[in-house]
Amino acid sequence: MANWLVFLIVFTALGSGLVAGVFFAFSSFVMRALEALAMVEGIRAMQRINTAVINPSFVGVFFGTAAACLALLGIAVMQWGERGAAHLLWGSLVYLIGSIGVTMVCHVPLNNALAAVDAQSVDAARVWQQYQRQWTRWNHVRGLAAMISCALFIHPLW
């Protein structure tokens, strides 16, 4: 395996592992902490988190890993039948669909809906309760996808 390919695989594995860790943190304790706050405080805190997450470091890792997945997907198709190609293909697809896809289809609309809510409105309690339940459920999915991707990327390096 060429050195540049090993570097790309390691970069993608580290990126997906880092993203999995972020999602794990939210599923295991951040959302629970927000739920324990008064509703108005929880909504405002999550609204701020959703704004703060759009920064060069997180966006760079999240979408940089996606770009690397696209490259590995193409390499896997071109090198189909060679050792590790199936792992690279599946790792890429799982990350792209399970992490990026779920974020775009599930989390972005939920985050946009929460951003539009006045935390002190009559509707806020209903929106916050649904948001927490749906957001966390889908976060488990994307966290698991990123973790599985990381494992699939590491496997060809053994």
Interatomic CA distance for residues 79 and 97, integer angstroms: 22
pLDDT digits (tens, 9 = 90+) for 72-93: 999 999 999 898 899 999 999 9
For the four alpha carbons of 66, 69, 71 and 77, in that order, the dihedral sign comes to negative
Q: Is the pLDDT of residue 1 over 80?
A: no
Share of the chain above pLDDT 70, in %: 99
Instruction: Scan for tokens 């695989």, then name that residue.
Output: 9
pLDDT of residue 158: 73
CA-closest candidate to residue 149, choices 101, 106, 109, 90 = 90
Distance CA 73, CA 69 (A): 6
Task: Provide the residue ranges of all domains of the chain, joining segments of one domain with +.
Answer: 3-157
For residue 107, the model assigns a pLDDT of 98
- What is the model's pTM? 0.93
What is the predicted pLDDT for the residue at 141?
98
pLDDT in tens, 133-158: 999 999 999 999 999 999 999 997 77
